[in-house]
């Protein structure tokens, strides 16, 4: 696909990292508005991977790597979950030797290769004037890198964990919380029928927002989060007490996947890591469930309390977006176009204190966003604080 001059320019859009409901509405919003403003929009497929694999030859078939977006294409996908552009966890600065595209292998033959020069050349070949990456802090950190290399980047935050710095809200978070509450309420009927402790592992590598909000909304009695290493005996005592007080004789705890026992570390499925160095988490819920069953006897007259253990995992990722993850992506897409129409770039579109705004893009790499434990989490009761909500943002907790 050769560079073709357009009236106003060409916008490239991509989705990277994990999929979430709300990505397709964001792509739709960008495309519809851009087309009406006189721009052409190119969907870059499979995140940063698609750009890396572009072959710079006008006769080459790059349909696997990019596609021209039309109203018909985005309207069809705009109401659905996932991302029709597909996604990956590719990190162009650290491409493994066996992942380098075949046509580049004679140039890049190290164990880890920085393909940024190829990314820039490929974006120029495609005629991309503005780039809109939609992703979490990993995907957007590479967007920051490209911006510092001189590319015009306007970014949109998404992640179920809601942990991109600079914004109160990331696409996917509301649907994740909604699904978590629904599934917890479904499973509590089983816990009540058998008078058990219900242990649910939820998303949240470094930030516990996805456990905190459902608990605050009443879906669980307790939650443990990555920001505070928890005492398993305290958790067992509290859950047995909750069970005793409940007429249906059960209690519920949400476990962030990144939660850690007091004196312990994160629990990983294996030793493999993704392109950004993250090992796959999973298993803390299993361990907590086993320990609770054994330790519950101490607080239940010597009798163990059985547990129900479930990892919610991808079930909260799947399906259509909820109302908020249909509305916010629409607004974020239009915010991104507002900036482009003004010739502004190097920005991250955000929600701050209930209002749409934008921030310098490098806020993504300048800090971390996590639960403020002293302000929001009761470490003695292993649950959120319920204090004054006056003038708090919609989802109560931010990193500020």
Beta strands across the sheet bearing 251-256? 222-224, 251-256, 197-202, 307-311
SS3 for the chain is CCCCCCCCCEEEEEECCCCCCCHHHHHHHHHHHHHHCCCEEEEECCCHHHHHCCCCCCCCCCCCCEEECCHHHHHHHCCCCCCCCCCCCCCHHHEEHHHCCHHHCCCCCCCEECCHHHHHHHHHHCCCCEEEEEECHHHHHHHHHHHHCCCCEEEEEECCCCCCCCCCCCECHHHHHHHHHHHHHHHHHHHHHHCCEEEEEECCCCCCHHHHHHHHCCCCCEEECCCCCECHHHHHHHHHHHHHHCCCCCEEEEEECCCCECCCCCCEEEEEECCCCCEEECCHHHHHHHHHHHHHHHHCCCCCCCEEEEECHHHHCCCCCCCHHHHHHHHHHHHHHHHHHCCCCCEEEEEECCEEEEEECCHHHHCCCCCCHHHHEECCCCEECCCCCCCCCCCCCCCC
Cα separation, 47 vs 247, in Å, equals 50
Q: Is residue 4 part of a domain?
A: no
Which pLDDT belongs to residue 392?
86
Q: Is residue 208 part of a domain?
A: yes
Which pLDDT tens digits describe the chain residue by residue (400 residues)?
Answer: 444 454 699 999 999 999 999 999 999 999 999 999 999 999 999 999 999 999 999 999 999 999 999 999 999 999 899 999 999 999 999 999 999 999 999 999 999 999 999 999 999 999 999 999 999 999 999 999 999 999 999 999 999 999 999 999 999 999 999 999 999 999 999 999 999 999 999 999 999 999 999 999 999 999 999 999 999 999 999 999 999 999 999 999 999 999 999 988 767 665 555 555 555 566 899 999 999 999 999 999 999 999 999 999 999 999 999 999 999 999 999 999 999 999 999 999 999 988 999 999 999 999 999 999 999 999 999 999 998 888 888 898 875 6
Cα 336 vs. chain centroid, distance in angstroms? 19
Which pLDDT belongs to residue 1?
45
Number of domains the chain contains: 2
Which pLDDT belongs to residue 148?
97
- β partners of residue 156: 134
97, 51: one domain: yes
Q: Is residue 282 part of a domain?
A: yes
Q: Is residue 259 part of a domain?
A: yes
Q: Is residue 125 part of a domain?
A: yes
Q: Containing domain of residue 186, as a range?
A: 175-313+373-384
Residue with tokens 């005492």: 231
298, 339: one domain: no
24, 162: one domain: yes
59, 125: one domain: yes
Point out the residues that are catalytic: 161
pTM of the model: 0.93
31, 140: one domain: yes
Q: Is residue 397 part of a domain?
A: no
Strands 222-224 and 40-44: unpaired
Q: Cβ(395)–Cβ(173) under 8 Å?
A: yes
151, 258: one domain: no
98, 192: one domain: no
53, 145: one domain: yes
330, 212: one domain: no
57, 146: one domain: yes
Cα separation, 4 vs 129, in Å, equals 11
14, 151: one domain: yes
Which pLDDT belongs to residue 264?
80
- β partners of residue 279: 273
Q: Cβ(66)–Cβ(13) under 8 Å?
A: no
Q: Is residue 2 part of a domain?
A: no
Q: Cβ(120)–Cβ(151) under 8 Å?
A: yes
Which pLDDT belongs to residue 269?
63
Nearest residue to 81 (alpha-carbon basis) of 156, 217, 179, 184: 179
235, 265: one domain: yes
Task: Give the CATH number, domain containing residue 245.
Answer: 3.40.50.460
Which pLDDT belongs to residue 97?
94
Q: Is residue 271 part of a domain?
A: yes
Which pLDDT belongs to residue 272?
56
């Amino acid at each position: 696909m050769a560079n073709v001059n357009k009236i106003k320019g060409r916008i490239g859009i991509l989705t990277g990292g994990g999929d979430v409901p709300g990505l397709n509405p964001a792509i739709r919003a960008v495309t519809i508005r851009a087309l009406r403003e006189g721009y052409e929009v190119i969907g870059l497929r499979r995140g940063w991977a698609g750009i890396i694999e572009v072959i710079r030859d006008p006769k080459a078939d790059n349909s696997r790597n990019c596609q021209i977006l039309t109203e018909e294409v985005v309207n069809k996908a705009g109401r659905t979950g996932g991302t029709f552009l597909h996604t990956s966890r590719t990190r162009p600065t650290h491409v493994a030797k066996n992942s380098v595209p075949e046509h580049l292998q004679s140039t890049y033959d190290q164990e880890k290769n920085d393909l940024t020069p190829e990314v820039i050349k490929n974006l120029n070949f495609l005629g991309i004037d503005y780039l809109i990456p939609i992703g979490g802090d990993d995907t957007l950190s590479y967007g920051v890198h490209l911006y510092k290399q001189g590319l015009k980047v306007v970014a949109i935050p998404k992640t179920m964990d809601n942990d991109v710095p600079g914004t109160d809200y990331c696409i996917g978070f509301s649907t994740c919380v909604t699904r978590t509450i629904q599934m917890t309420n479904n499973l509590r009927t089983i816990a009540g029928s058998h008078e058990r402790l219900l242990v649910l592992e939820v998303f949240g590598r470094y930030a516990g927002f996805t456990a905190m909000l459902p608990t605050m909304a009443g879906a669980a009695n307790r939650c443990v989060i990555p920001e505070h290493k928890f005492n398993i005996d305290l958790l067992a005592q509290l859950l047995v007490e909750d069970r005793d007080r409940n007429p249906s004789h059960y209690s519920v705890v949400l476990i962030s996947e990144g939660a850690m026992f007091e004196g312990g570390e994160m629990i990983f499925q294996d030793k493999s890591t993704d392109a950004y160095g993250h090992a796959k988490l999973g298993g803390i819920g299993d361990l907590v469930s086993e320990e609770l069953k054994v330790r519950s006897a101490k607080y239940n007259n010597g009798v163990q309390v059985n547990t129900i253990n479930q990892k919610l995992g991808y079930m909260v990722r799947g399906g259509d977006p909820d109302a908020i993850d249909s509305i916010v992506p629409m607004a974020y897409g239009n915010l991104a176009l507002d900036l482009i129409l003004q010739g502004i770039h190097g920005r991250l579109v955000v929600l701050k204190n209930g209002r749409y705004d934008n921030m310098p893009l490098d806020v993504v790499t300048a800090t971390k966003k996590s639960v403020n434990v002293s302000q929001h989490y009761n470490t003695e009761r292993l649950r959120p604080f319920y204090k004054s909500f006056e003038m708090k943002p919609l989802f109560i907790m931010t990193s500020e």
